[in-house]
Structure 1
Amino acid sequence: MAVLAPNSCVLYRELCLRDPWMQQSNGGGCSLVSSRGGGGLAGVSDKVRTKRGGWRGEVKVEAFWQDVSRPTSIEMEAISGIDDLDEILRQSKDLAQPIVIDWMAAWCRKCIYMKPKLEKLAAEYHPRIKFYFIDVNKVSQALVKRGNISKMPTIQIWKDGEWKAEVIGGHKAWLVLDEVREMIQKNMR
């Protein structure tokens, strides 16, 4: 039986109401012991426990509903040198498409924490804006100076081949993302 429910508890409740075995003389009392939290996840397996402590089978929730028309995250491309940056800026200028560059370092915990969040943000703006990252330890200092980078993570927006604005991410990730969204909105016009 395939049942689509918003979470495993709703599915369990539906099974309790429909299954006469669960409504027998023990008062119909049963509880749900979830092996993982939350519904809507693919492959969540929950065990049904009766009031008297016995186990009854497994309830498998195979529902996973999300908007698959858009990806949930887009992997940012790496910029490996000055020539690479020049080519990307030339392409963005030709296409009249702004780009976002995340200046980061592999040793920077906040940078590592921010990268997947920026990749989710990239999915929101795809294909209007492309997102890139530069690991400052893997490129020349001339490239780092060109970006005028002093702290990391620094998230910059470039438009028409020129630097337009930046957010230096030394505070909470959700605040940084809000500031990046605001920066993008101001420079999309």
Structure 2
Amino acid sequence: MYMSNVIRISPCFRSPQRRESQFHLYDLGVSQYFSKSALRKSDSVKNSIVFTKNIHVIGGNLRALTNYSEEGPVQDLDSSPVSIELELISSESQFDRVIAEAQQLEESLVIVWMASWCRKCIYLKPKLEKLAADYYPRIRFYCIDVNAVPHKLVVRAGITKMPTIQLWKDSKKQAEVIGGHKAYLVVNEVREMIENEYTM
């Protein structure tokens, strides 16, 4: 069995009786995700498990950085990013360059038009960064602060509300989503917009 899931865990502590780097976890449900060689029941603490492999805890989630099988470590790990920061476009000349490069490479790109004062933009941005990871590397995601670029560029792109998420291909705007509602709904619409482009 391979271990590749992220598992929610309860607080853990080091065993005072063991000097090795092992953890006791109060969650017997995790045993289904690990091979027998990666864990065993603890005798010193009731209803706990001792992990005998290196495990990393990140923000309340248990994320295995190495896959294990009965035979040992598995080499081909999924190294896909979980989130990708939106690349900032800060001038009209940079915008033109990004659009021209995408056309030359025959790629689509997503441009998120936002403003620093826009609360909906602030809530939406991290969710779009996760979406960007789903489409990495075939679609690049960029963001533009409408207050940091010439107004002429904002007018040229037809931006009237924030946030606006546009899909560009062949130096032309193909579609857009205006994010006036809940962030998860906007993300779904953006995903649908991208998928529609690829099925056309």
TM-score, normalization: structure 2? 0.68
Alignment of 1:98-109 (within 5 A): 98-109=108-119
The aligned residue for residue 42 of structure 1 is 57
The aligned residue for residue 34 of structure 2 is none
Give the counterpart letter for 2:43 in structure 1.
D
The aligned residue for residue 26 of structure 2 is 12
Quick check: 1:155–1:167 contact (8 Å CA) kept in 2?
A: yes
Give the counterpart letter for 1:165 in structure 2.
A
Alignment of 1:61-140 (within 5 A): 63-65=62-64, 68-140=78-150
How big is the alpha-carbon RMSD for the aligned residues of Structure 1 and Structure 2? 3.1
Quick check: 2:9–2:62 contact (8 Å CA) kept in 1?
A: no
> What is the CA distance between 1:69 and its match in structure 2?
1.0
The aligned residue for residue 163 of structure 2 is 153
The aligned residue for residue 68 of structure 2 is none
SS at match of 2:96: helix
Whole-Å separation in 1 of the counterparts to 2:94 and 2:128 = 21
Whole-Å separation in 2 of the counterparts to 1:168 and 1:100 = 13
Q: Deviations over 1:85-128 (max 9, x none)?
A: 11111100010100000000000000011111111111100110
> What is the CA distance between 1:8 and its match in structure 2?
3.6
Q: Which runs of 5+ in 1 are unaligned?
A: 23-29, 31-39, 46-61
Give the counterpart letter for 1:151 in structure 2.
K
SS at match of 1:42: strand
- Aligned pair count? 155
Whole-Å separation in 2 of the counterparts to 1:162 and 1:183 = 15
Whole-Å separation in 2 of the counterparts to 1:19 and 1:80 = 60
Give the counterpart letter for 1:65 in structure 2.
A
Whole-Å separation in 1 of the counterparts to 2:80 and 2:176 = 27
Structure 1 residues 79, 7: CA separation in 2 closer, same or farther (over 3 Å shift)? closer
SS at match of 2:104: helix
Quick check: 1:98–1:188 contact (8 Å CA) kept in 2?
A: no
Kindly name which structure, 1 or 2, has the bigger radius of gyration based on alpha carbons.
1
Higher helix content, 1 or 2: 1
Give the counterpart letter for 1:74 in structure 2.
I
Give the counterpart letter for 2:148 in structure 1.
K
Q: Percent identity?
A: 50
Q: Which runs of 5+ in 2 are unaligned?
A: 1-5, 11-23, 29-38, 48-54, 66-76
> What is the CA distance between 1:7 and its match in structure 2?
4.6
Structure 1 residues 19, 78: CA separation in 2 closer, same or farther (over 3 Å shift)? same
